[in-house]
């Protein structure tokens, strides 16, 4: 096969690939965390450990779970000793999130319709001390 034929075949393969129908695009991309923005956006921030989690429904075809936390310390807002936080569960590339049972979490949640909700992009990306420092700056302002 001549070089010209190889180039034509490659161009044809590329063109056919570009013309192929694409599947649905689903991706979740979070920007690098800004502790000040995370603190400001949350109605409630607490340090806690997972007691249990259960699927409680669906939204837009994606699973919703409620995770029950034993609150070790409240950093912002009022929460009791135990608190349920709803969130999309499943694959993180589709904005799902899961909380590990074997570690402490800093949970950022918003209140809506009498419930607390967390989102994948508002999870605890940074060490707890960074958020505590940001909260103490807020209280000084």
| Nearby residues of 70 by Cβ (< 8 Å), 6 or more positions away | 48, 49, 51, 81, 82
Q: Is the pTM of this model over 0.85?
A: no
Instruction: Express each pLDDT in 111-139 by its tens digit.
Output: 999 999 998 887 776 667 777 777 787 67
Instruction: Express each pLDDT in 13-25 by its tens digit.
Output: 454 444 444 444 4
Instruction: Express each pLDDT in 65-107 by its tens digit.
Output: 999 999 999 999 999 999 999 998 877 667 778 888 888 999 9
- DSSP for the chain reads --HHHHHHHHHHHHHHHHHSPP--------PPP-HHHHHHH-SEEEEEEEEEEEEEEEETTEEEEEEEEEEEEEEES---SEEEEEEE-S-GGGT-----TTS-EEEEEEEETTEEE--GGGS--S-HHHHHHHHHHHHH-
Res 11 pLDDT > 90: no
What pLDDT does residue 27 have? 66
């Amino acid at each position: 096969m001549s070089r010209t034929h190889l180039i034509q075949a490659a161009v044809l393969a590329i063109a056919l690939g570009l013309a192929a129908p694409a599947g649905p695009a689903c991706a979740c991309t979070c920007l690098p965390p800004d502790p000040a923005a995370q603190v400001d956006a949350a109605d409630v921030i607490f340090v806690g450990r997972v007691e249990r989690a259960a699927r409680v429904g669906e939204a837009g075809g994606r699973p919703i779970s409620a995770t029950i936390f034993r609150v070790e310390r409240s950093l912002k807002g009022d929460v009791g000793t135990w608190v349920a936080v709803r969130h999309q569960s499943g694959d993180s590339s589709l904005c799902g999130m899961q909380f590990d049972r074997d570690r402490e979490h800093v949970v950022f949640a918003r209140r809506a319709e009498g419930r607390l909700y967390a989102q994948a992009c508002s999870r605890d990306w940074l060490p707890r001390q960074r958020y505590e420092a940001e909260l103490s700056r807020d209280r000084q302002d």
